[in-house]
Amino acid sequence: MLTLDYSDHRPLYEQIKEKLKKLIVSGALKENEKIPSVREFAAMLAINPNTIQRAYKDLETEGYIYSVRAKGSFIAPIPAASNAKQVASLREQFTSVVHELCYLGLAESELVRDIQTIYGERKASV
């Protein structure tokens, strides 16, 4: 499902969070789909279950997954009303990265094309 990169300096739970989040926002994991249990996942990655627990808890707080006691954890539905704070923060990150790519000489058209591709995929899958 995903692989760990020990040469990455971030804590393991952050890596796991990020990779799961990517699978969710990219549409690879669908609404209400079941994800592995904490213990299962920990066994698969050969790490401490607490690390998975922490990642799942954070993702639940951020609204990306939900857990049902004795059932397991599932992908949350796409939020209808988006979190304004979260969007603002991401948009700041977005403009920052665009500034840097512009500085490094990447063509504007390439970025616009990337955006169209991403939005196109999403529409198609909905």
What is the contact surface with DNA in residues (CB under 7 A)?
Answer: 9, 11-14, 37-40, 47-48, 50-51, 53-54, 56-57, 60, 67-73
CA-based nearest residue to 27, from 2, 64, 62, 63: 64
Output the smallest distance, CB 4 to a second copy, in A.
Answer: 11
The site for a second copy (CB under 8 A) is made up of 6-7, 9, 21-22, 24-26, 61, 66-69, 71, 76, 78-79, 82-87, 90-91, 93-106, 108, 111-112, 114-116, 118-119, 122
Cβ within 8 Å of residue 24, ≥6 positions away: 64, 65, 75
If the CB atoms of residues 27 and 58 are measured against DNA, the closer one turns out to be: 58
Q: Which partner, DNA, a second copy, none, binds residue 85 by CB below 5 to 8 Å per kind?
A: a second copy
**Could you give phi then psi for residue 71, rounded to 5 degrees?**
-110, -45
Q: How many CA atoms, within 13 angstroms, populate the side-chain half-sphere of residue 76? A: 16
